[in-house]
Homo-oligomer: A and B are copies of this chain.
């Protein structure tokens, strides 16, 4: 165990600590390149696991695990079709999220870049 923080001085917050945990979990699920790859592959529409494997280059086992993570967190949805399982994006809000992060990252990169050129 490596967690032992004071449980004091909380107060003043619109968001409870449990909510914070949920939000953090959400972010953490999205904080994995291969999972983002899977999401990106599903932007164009639903795909089977093998389709996703082909699109992303991931290992079958690895893809399956990430897909499980994404599905459990409500980001993706699944549907059976014969022997294959078809995944789709269940929470379109993801797109706006990624857009926002893209924006932030770009401005960040721009700032870093200008640190080389200007000054």
Contact = CB atoms under 8 A, between A and B. Distances in A.
Contacts of A10: 57
Copies in the complex: 2
Given A59-B5, A103-B93, A111-B74, A25 B17 contact: no
B24 A36 contact: yes
A28 B13 CA distance: 23
A33 interface: yes
A48 to B, nearest CB: 14
A47 B81 CA distance: 54
A15 to B, nearest CB: 6
A25 B36 CA distance: 11
Given A40-B13, A59-B5, A31 B28 contact: yes
B26 A28 contact: no
B101 A9 contact: no
Contacts of A102: 15, 19, 23
Nearest to A109: B22
A67 interface: no
A111 B35 CA distance: 23
